[in-house]
Amino acid sequence: VHEGILRRQSLRESAARTYARSLPIVPVRARGMTIEGADGRRYLDCLSGAGTLALGHNHPVVLEAIRKVIDSGAPLHVLDLATPVKDAFTTELFATLPRQFADNARIQFCGPAGTDAVEAAFKLVRAATGRSGLLAFTGAYHGMTAGALAASGGAEDVRVTRLPFPQNYRCPFGIGGERGAEIAARWTENLLDDPKGGAPAPAGMILEPVQGEGGVNPAPDSWMRRMREITETRSVPLIADEVQTGVGRTGAFWAIEHSGIVPDVMVLSKAIGGSLPLAVIVYRSELDTWQPGAHAGTFRGNQLAMAAGTATLAFVREHRLTERAATLGARMVARLQALATDHPSIGDVRGRGLMIGVELVDPEAAARGGSPEPPPAPVLAAAVQQECLRRGLIVELGGRQATVVRLLPPLTLTDEQATAVVDRLADALAAAER
């Protein structure tokens, strides 16, 4: 069965398929952090549906919430009409948001995917400001539809002004930490006050508090506060893309809480749907000047996703999984950093909560080339991913050259599972280095 499915899908599926290419497994059962393949092999899942599964696979409270909607006879497809299920979801979601934000906020249901909500955020701020430009950062990832793609790292679009995202490791200025972040902030200020000829005035700035796909780059809190100040004084709405960082993943319910900033718009998806597709924007009510129908779409009322999402948000809140993510994440990062002393190919270990990245480099190439900075090691990273898989561990790679091993376990992982993840990764690294 296993081999047949893999063979047929590799023949039929598009050349653009992604995860299926590097993870040749056929999942047939899953619970918590464990996935079982059609070949009977079991894996610890550190990808969690690209950071979606805050409670892991098939959590009983999520399954129960879905069953309850089905058994109640409620309509499953209602476009964006008001329902008790939507009412419960909105109430629970607003209860998790910082008070100063939620007390004066509106929500727009956007459709199934994060990218859909990013588009809505862009439309909203363009309508509210009457301006058309966007400010986005190097290394950003916001989605695959036209607007979101244009705002993602590497894209070229005349409407988007690209700003430097602060990075400790491989900082383009050779300066990390708070000081590097301050220099990146001043760069941004200068660019806004002395714009390039032809760049349209900005309708908004979009940022990820921790860049995920870009290789797990946490923004310093001081920099987040500077971005808030820079945008506020220039009346540019600030859009926080918390599609991946939300729902406890970084050790705060929302990653903006680390810095204490209040954005104008929050883009939310992934974990808020409890493993089913759901995406929304929540924003300051003064921005609500767009026209009815400005962001329509057939699939904005997924009742099962809302019910699964309500159950997930409530479970994370009631079981303090945010604190758990902070503690376990710190423990895993410490162990990974200790591992780096024996493995010079670990260039950097970074992250926040259970959003962790291990950047792999080639120290020998640096020595050969006489360069102080070891170059990224894409071949090694791909080998580590495959060695992880052989040891029953699913990990994804991120960063510009796919050299950052990304760990996004469910917030429900046990101490033993956290230990097993680091052990297996260490073994895989040793094997790939040979």
Q: Return residues touching ligand PMP (CB under 6 A).
A: 50, 113-115, 118, 141-143, 208, 212-213, 241, 243-244, 269
Shortest distance (Å) from residue 145 CB to ligand PMP? 7
DSSP 332: H
- For residue 33, what are the CA distances in angstroms to 54, 67, 130? 10, 21, 46
Q: Identify each DSSP E strand in 3-150 by its residue range.
A: 27-31, 34-37, 42-45, 105-111, 133-137
Pick 48 or 115: Cβ nearer ligand PMP: 115
Q: How far apart are CA 315 and CA 134, in angstroms?
A: 36
Pick 114 or 220: Cβ nearer ligand PMP: 114
- Which has the closest alpha carbon to 181: 207, 148, 143? 207
Pick 138 or 417: Cβ nearer ligand PMP: 138
Shortest distance (Å) from residue 144 CB to ligand PMP? 6
Shortest distance (Å) from residue 374 CB to ligand PMP? 27
Pick 213 or 387: Cβ nearer ligand PMP: 213
- How many residues appear in the chain? 434
Q: How far apart are CA 184 and CA 194, in angstroms?
A: 15
Q: How far apart are CA 393 and CA 409, in angstroms?
A: 11
Decide if 254 contacts 242 (C-beta within 8 A): yes
Number of Cβ within 10 Å of residue 97's Cβ equals 20
Shortest distance (Å) from residue 39 CB to ligand PMP? 28
Pick 92 or 208: Cβ nearer ligand PMP: 208
Pick 50 or 420: Cβ nearer ligand PMP: 50
Shortest distance (Å) from residue 245 CB to ligand PMP? 7
Q: How far apart are CA 183 and CA 33, in angstroms?
A: 41
Pick 111 or 376: Cβ nearer ligand PMP: 111
Shortest distance (Å) from residue 410 CB to ligand PMP? 16
Decide if 290 contacts 108 (C-beta within 8 A): no
Shortest distance (Å) from residue 427 CB to ligand PMP? 28
Pick 207 or 422: Cβ nearer ligand PMP: 207
DSSP 193-224: HSPPTTPPPEEEEEE-SEESTTT-EEPPHHHH
Decide if 33 contacts 45 (C-beta within 8 A): yes
Pick 188 or 245: Cβ nearer ligand PMP: 245
The residue whose Cβ lies closest to ligand PMP is: 114
Shortest distance (Å) from residue 123 CB to ligand PMP? 16
261-267-272-275 Cα dihedral, nearest 10 degrees: -140
At residue 54, φ and ψ (nearest 5 deg) are -60, -35
- For residue 339, what are the CA distances in angstroms to 79, 263, 278, 388? 51, 37, 38, 16
DSSP 280: E
Pick 395 or 432: Cβ nearer ligand PMP: 395
Shortest distance (Å) from residue 149 CB to ligand PMP? 10
Decide if 385 contacts 338 (C-beta within 8 A): no
Shortest distance (Å) from residue 371 CB to ligand PMP? 32
Shortest distance (Å) from residue 280 CB to ligand PMP? 12
Number of Cβ within 10 Å of residue 160's Cβ equals 21
Sheet containing strand 34-37, edge to edge, reads: 27-31, 34-37, 42-45, 393-394
